[in-house]
Structure 1
Amino acid sequence: MDTNVEPRRVILWSVPRSLSTVFQKCLSFIPKVQIINEPFTCAYHMGPEKKPDDTQMVSDEEAEKYQAQMNGTYNEEKLDLPMAFDADVCTYNYVKSKLDADYPDKQLVFCKDMAYALDGKYGMLPKGYRHTFIIRNPYRMFPSYKKILVSTMNLLGMKEFRICDIPLVFVPRGYAYQEEYQLLLYVQENCDGSDPPIVIDADDLLSNPASIMRQYCELLGIPFQEEMLEWPSGLDVIKSWIGSRESLVGNLLETGGYYDAALKSTRYHPPKKMPKREELAEDILVCVNHSMPFYEKMYDLRLKP
């Protein structure tokens, strides 16, 4: 890439548990890249305009106790995060300013975020970005998501919960896939012009990483490198990421752990066997049944190995 030109700008929109963080880690080792980690997700969950809890599933006392515990852990965590910002400044306008900012020493600006966190505020989309999407079969995503939510819900005093019923702050009404598909439609009609959105499927990425990564890079004008298929394990990579301190630290904790496997990873591994429908709990099937039509429409648009 020419260092004297405006950096290429790319957003990867995702649903939870779709390998988006490991994909982002993979791209973090491209020379002269700036990673921006889930800024809209911070605005949605933690910023001044955060989504209100629409369901009083736990008492105010339990919620305050949980928040105090998390705040204490953030303060105790001695991570050096020079690029991090505090969640209390993270409005949607603040996010847009971060995405629109100049990065004169960079050749690529790459942002990874949850599509549902945009919350329909399409006017907040930054200019000049190529929009890409990562999807994962709902039969895989929802069991993984419920499993990782258990520790959080237990800390809130909920030993039993149905993932299809928990508050919007955890699972949006469209169960993330509907919101991602709606954003894809908006992008198709308004943002990319003659360049269609790029869609990648997590199973394809795991099964054929070289093919998917090569196609993805070529479509974006990013030189593909074999080093993208293997990378070092560890947390150091997040020191160069722009993102909220609360999100970066919180996702590493035993109370969160959302980034744990991704940051320990060193390569893509072949996917495990697909769960069978009869193996899934009733509440997970509610989410799967709603999400599958949106997933299938996006799957038809995916890069093929």
Structure 2
Amino acid sequence: MSIRVAMWSGPRNISTAMMRSFGARADTVVVDEPLYAHYLAETGIDHPGRDAVLASQPNWWQDVAAALTGPLPGDPAVHYQKHMTHHLLPSIGRDWLAGLTHAFLIRDPAHVVASYARVRGEPTLDDLGYPQQAEIFRAFGGPVVDAADVLRDPAATLRRLCEALGFAFEPAMLSWAPGPRDTDGVWAPFWYASVHASSGFAPYDPAPPEVPPRLRPLVEAAQPFYDELAAHRL
């Protein structure tokens, strides 16, 4: 029976690199942001490639939930689901989440906000997904890894994560061939250039983030949610 790992992350994190890492395992099948189309359909938000995203995935969360918890072709040992926490809208039911094994990829809010501000000028707390991430953690628990720890020491951090999830770490998770994957979402051309050029995790950058003064209150609002999960990180 497959271990269905729902990895919950906010934007401007290393979530796609983590998907690459798990996709490099011989026993793992990955799925890329399966709730994205529902999120766009429900909110009406205009993202790059919106029409293609809506055409590529089920537009109703019930269909997504059924696919993520139902029979899997080939019955892989690990089914790795890359989820964005802000895609879990309030209107989405939560009961189906009990059928998944949850994990959490966190990142310091100052770094997230500084990065997000470069691509979208006025993010909100809901855009960053910190409250939703805390909600899922409170309800279901699961291992927590910090992006900074992954970048500082990928092997040790991934080893701890895999052990917490109930399967063995594989050294193959530390590197991958550059380029796109069939499992990438259709939005990849807009967002995945750096991952497509990569062959492993980027080096950790210790430089402090430059947060625009207008967005510092957003960092302060997100900080308690981050701190809550960070207290449990592996």
Q: Distance in 1 between matches of 2:82 and 2:171?
A: 22
In the alignment of these two chains, the number of paired residues is 232
* CA deviation after TM superposition for structure 1 residue 17, in Å: 1.1
Matched, 1:128 2:99: yes
Pick aligned residue for 1:13 from 8, 14, 24: 8
SS in 1 for 2:31: strand
Q: Distance in 2 between matches of 1:126 and 1:179?
A: 13
Pick aligned residue for 1:108 from 78, 95, 105: 78
Q: Distance in 2 between matches of 1:262 and 1:222?
A: 25
In structure 1, the residue matched to 2:203 is 270
Post-superposition CA distance 1:182-208 (Å, at most 9, x none): 2211214xxxxxxxx100000000001
Q: How does 1:153-192 map to 2 (within 5 A)?
A: 161-164=121-124, 172=126, 175-188=128-141
| Aligned amino acid, residue 163 of structure 1 | P
Post-superposition CA distance 1:239-264 (Å, at most 9, x none): 1x2x7xxxx232313xxx2x221232
In structure 2, the residue matched to 1:168 is none
1:7–1:104 contact (8 Å) kept in structure 2? no
Q: How does 1:143-292 map to 2 (within 5 A)?
A: 143-149=114-120, 161-164=121-124, 172=126, 175-188=128-141, 197-235=142-180, 237=181, 239=182, 241=183, 248-253=185-190, 257=191, 259-275=192-208, 279-292=210-223
2:56–2:186 contact (8 Å) kept in structure 1? no
In structure 2, the residue matched to 1:152 is none
Runs of 4+ in structure 1 deviating by more than 4 angstroms, as ranges, are: none
In structure 1, the residue matched to 2:22 is 27
Which stretches in structure 2 are left out of the alignment for 5+ residues?
Answer: none
Overall identity of the aligned pairs, in %: 24
| Aligned amino acid, residue 71 of structure 2 | D
1:11–1:131 contact (8 Å) kept in structure 2? yes
TM-score by length of 2: 0.88
Post-superposition CA distance 1:8-60 (Å, at most 9, x none): 11110011011011001111021232211111232112x3xx1246xxxxxxx
Q: Distance in 1 between matches of 2:97 and 2:138?
A: 17
Post-superposition CA distance 1:118-174 (Å, at most 9, x none): 12334253443110000001111111112133xxxxxxxxxxx4334xxxxxx627x
Q: Distance in 1 between matches of 2:35 and 2:16?
A: 15
Q: Distance in 1 between matches of 2:80 and 2:122?
A: 34
SS in 1 for 2:24: coil
SS in 1 for 2:94: helix
* CA deviation after TM superposition for structure 1 residue 89, in Å: 3.4
2:106–2:226 contact (8 Å) kept in structure 1? yes
TM-score by length of 1: 0.69
Pick aligned residue for 1:137 from 86, 100, 108: 108
RMSD: 2.5
